[in-house]
Amino acid sequence: MLVFGKKFVSGNVLRMCLLALVSLMFAGCYSFTASTLPSHIKTVQIHEVEDKALDPVLANDLHTAVVDMFKKNAGGIRLVNEEANADFEITLLSYANKPENYNSNSDVETYRVTIRVSVKFYDNVKERIIYENKSLSADGVYDIQKNESEDRHGQARAIEKLQDLIIANALAKW
């Protein structure tokens, strides 16, 4: 037992409090940082998205999302336009927007946007692939009855999932 003031706290309560404190410290720590990359990588070039789906707006949105991901999660890495320690390449392979759920009148209620990409993160110094996935896909559902739209809601949700997948999968390789 531990004494706080004139109150006694049992070992179980103390353990639970410590566990809660440790959990709070690690909450939200799921991201990559410059320190999780090989130490010799100080600069990264994020190439424009190769667009095989013929959707230049979506390709641009993907590029912006990847740049934002690096700025947010790897602030110690400098983004450059040439001669980088590492290259990050992404190819937009396909894009689909299909009805998902219908109501009793056979009207579409929700649609599912699916984006499939190829990702390659290459270490130019050691001349090896840090992370590669030739077919990574994510989807985003949007509800037209809530006045949600494909490009604003469905695509944004799919892109956010892609960011999370890139981080989660790349962490396992770094």
What's the CA gap between 45 and 125, in Å, rounded? 13
Q: What is the domain range of residue 37?
A: 31-173
Tell whether 92 and 16 lie within a shared domain.
Answer: no
Give the total number of structural domains in the chain.
2
Domain holding 101: CATH number? 3.30.160.150
Judgement on whether residues 68 and 114 belong to the same structural domain of the protein? yes
Q: Examine the domain organization and report whether 64 and 134 are in the same domain.
A: yes
> Which pLDDT belongs to residue 12?
43
Query: SS3 of 107, please?
Result: coil
Give Cα 139 to chain centroid, integer Å. 13
Residues 37, 84 share a domain = yes
| Whole-number Å distance between alpha carbons of 18 and 131 | 36
Is 132 in the same domain as 116? yes
Residues 17 and 96 in one domain: no
Give yes or no: residues 20 and 37 share one domain: no
Q: Using alpha carbons only, what angle is made at residue 59 by residues 138 and 49, rounded to the nearest 5 degrees?
A: 100
Are 161 and 135 contained in the same domain?
Answer: yes
Indicate whether 131 and 148 sit together in one domain.
yes
In this prediction, residue 98 carries a pLDDT of 94
For residues 98 and 124, state if they share a domain. yes
Among 46, 43, 32, residue whose Cα is nearest residue 77: 43
Tens-digit pLDDT string for the chain (174 aa): 444 444 444 444 434 433 333 333 333 333 444 446 788 999 999 999 999 999 999 999 999 999 998 888 777 889 999 999 999 999 999 999 999 999 999 989 999 999 999 999 999 999 999 999 999 999 999 998 898 887 789 999 999 999 888 877 765 555
Considering the domain architecture, whether residues 162 and 97 belong to the same structural domain is answered as yes
Residues 121 and 155 in one domain: yes
pLDDT of residue 71: 85
